[in-house]
């Protein structure tokens, strides 16, 4: 059943304009294995389910990685990137509104961004598939953070947290004024997320 369904998908991709990535193939295979496990629970003994469970785990991991690297980034023409990435913007205008990372560690260092002349918050989103994410912000910045991660730990300024608003430190006029200088959204599939001050 698995081979037939994957073969039908491959044939459809060959003879039609449809150009799927690996995700539909892996998803179909995983659904088929799931059906096989369901049927096997009523028809046969436990020994036959072991290989299907192992195959299901393998397909699940492959689907997760494929979804991270072949998702909206490629469909929209943006290469999400494979390998470690590091960015150190020198001012607010150099901060991208969105950063994409497929597989690999990601680091964004915002400590060089001058907060003195901001007319609006520095707002950015990090969308990472597989790999650790680390964002470093200036000590004086009030920061609003939102973290959404699948598998992995989130450490926001030394606390296990999925976000909130955090006042900066020091005696700068913007510090602790209840207005965030940096608004940060982090979406991570697999990997640890760390937000700290430089």
Q: What is the pLDDT of residues 148-181, one digit of tens each?
A: 988 899 999 999 888 899 999 999 999 999 899 9
pLDDT digits (tens, 9 = 90+) for 105-149: 999 999 999 999 899 999 999 999 889 999 999 999 999 999 998
> Is residue 71 predicted with pLDDT exceeding 70?
no
Burial class (CB in 10 A: 0-12, 13-18, 19+), 148: middle
More confident residue, 189 or 139: 139
> Is residue 36 predicted with pLDDT exceeding 70?
yes
> Is residue 56 predicted with pLDDT exceeding 50?
yes
Contacts for 31 with CB less than 8 Å, ≥ 6 apart: none
Indicate the pairing of strand 159-160 with strand 154-156: antiparallel
Averaged pLDDT, 85-103: 92
CA-to-CA distance for 173 and 109, rounded, in angstroms?
22
| Closest by CA position to 179, among listed 126, 123, 128, 124 | 123
What is the pTM for the complete model shown?
Answer: 0.64
């Amino acid at each position: 059943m698995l081979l037939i369904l994957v073969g039908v998908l491959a044939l459809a991709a060959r003879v039609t304009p449809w150009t799927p990535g690996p995700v539909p193939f892996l998803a179909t295979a995983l659904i088929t294995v799931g059906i096989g496990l369901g049927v096997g629970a009523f028809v046969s003994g436990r020994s036959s389910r072991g290989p299907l469970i192992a195959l299901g785990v393998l397909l699940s991991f492959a689907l997760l990685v494929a979804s991270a690297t072949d998702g909206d980034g490629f469909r929209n023409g943006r290469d999400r990137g494979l390998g470690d990435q590091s960015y150190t913007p020198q001012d607010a205008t150099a901060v991208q509104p969105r950063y994409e990372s497929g597989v690999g560690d990601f680091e964004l260092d915002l400590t060089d961004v001058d907060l003195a002349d901001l007319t609006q918050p520095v707002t950015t989103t990090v969308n990472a598939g597989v790999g650790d994410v680390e964002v470093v912000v200036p000590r004086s910045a009030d920061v609003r953070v939102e973290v959404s991660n699948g598998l992995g730990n989130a450490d926001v300024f030394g606390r296990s947290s999925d976000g909130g608003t955090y006042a900066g430190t020091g005696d700068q006029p913007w510090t602790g004024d209840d207005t965030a200088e940096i608004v940060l959204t982090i979406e991570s599939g697999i990997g640890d997320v760390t937000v700290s001050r430089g």
